[in-house]
Chain A
């Protein structure tokens, strides 16, 4: 066993342990701020795994997009909806947890069985290594050009949709009817529309 391969093995073990334990922490920790930061740790460890797989460009994209954008977005959402609330107990919660745990364990066993019994065609072709970024660029501008352009349209649609969904009603007049818009929702003087009658 050479030094390079043992280093790779140790790095993989540490990173996968961080990923697995961090994912459990994301799901199970009672404080959601801690789980959001743990989610950032999971994303960083997954980027480390990509580096182990000779994919420096995707690792950089993972750090930029997931840690830099998605995780920060989740933290902002937590900040915006951060209200201490005691969730009302619902009947059959323990049974539901057990059942879904059993289903997930079955799914896990199935995935493991597929992974370990399928005769994968390893070793495949020699990995390109550091040329991966060049290859990705060639793919994106030749045979994956249409999905690449569609991705830009998708991102534009998602941006506009997020703005439309998340903004408050700030227009002075309703577009459809021309009547003055309901400013009570903006100033929070009126109770929200769908609040349940808690009687």
Chain B
């Protein structure tokens, strides 16, 4: 039986790649104990969302490319989030002298 390869990249391939990236990010967000790595996982998840938006914008909305505009806004918000997140991390590190997520438990019950 001849294996039929697609001649162009299908939309589903981009969606599957974004799903892989998003799930990796979620796993890292839950499991990593270094706070910097948790922030990196958040960036991975935001990139997965951006890939989805761009794929839909190119395949389903080729004339009005609203997905690309949304991607620009997501990139802007991600930059702001990274700056504030790392500032919070530095402030925490100054007070706690650790980056272990398990020890940031001041608000725990």
The judgment on whether A and B are partners is yes
Q: Are A122 and B13 in contact (CB under 8 A)?
A: no
Q: When chains A and B are docked, how far (Å) is the Cα of A9 from the Cα of B5?
A: 10
A-B contact pairs, 5 of them (CB 8 A): A20-B20, A42-B44, A70-B78, A124-B59, A155-B80
The residues of B that contact A170 with a CB separation of less than 8 Å are none
The residues of A that contact B95 with a CB separation of less than 8 Å are 192-195
Which residues of A20-49 are within 8 A (CB) of B? 20, 23-24, 26-27, 32, 35-36, 39, 42-43, 46, 49
A-side interface size class: 35 or more
Q: Are B27 and A27 in contact (CB under 8 A)?
A: yes
The residues of A that contact B103 with a CB separation of less than 8 Å are 196
Q: B-side interface residues toward A, CB under 8 Å?
A: 5-28, 30-37, 39-41, 43-44, 47, 50-51, 54-55, 57-66, 68-69, 71-73, 75-84, 86-91, 93-100, 102-103, 106
Q: A-side interface residues toward B, CB under 8 Å?
A: 1, 5, 8-9, 12, 16, 19-20, 23-24, 26-27, 32, 35-36, 39, 42-43, 46, 49-50, 52-55, 57-58, 61-62, 65-66, 69-70, 73-74, 76-78, 80-81, 83, 85, 87-88, 90, 96-97, 100-101, 103-105, 107-108, 111-112, 115-116, 120-128, 132, 135-136, 139-140, 144, 147, 151, 154-155, 157-159, 161-163, 165-166, 168, 185, 192-196
How close is B48's CB to chain A, nearest CB, in angstroms?
Answer: 9
Q: When chains A and B are docked, how far (Å) is the Cα of A144 from the Cα of B68?
A: 12
Partner of A165, one of B27, B71, B88: B88
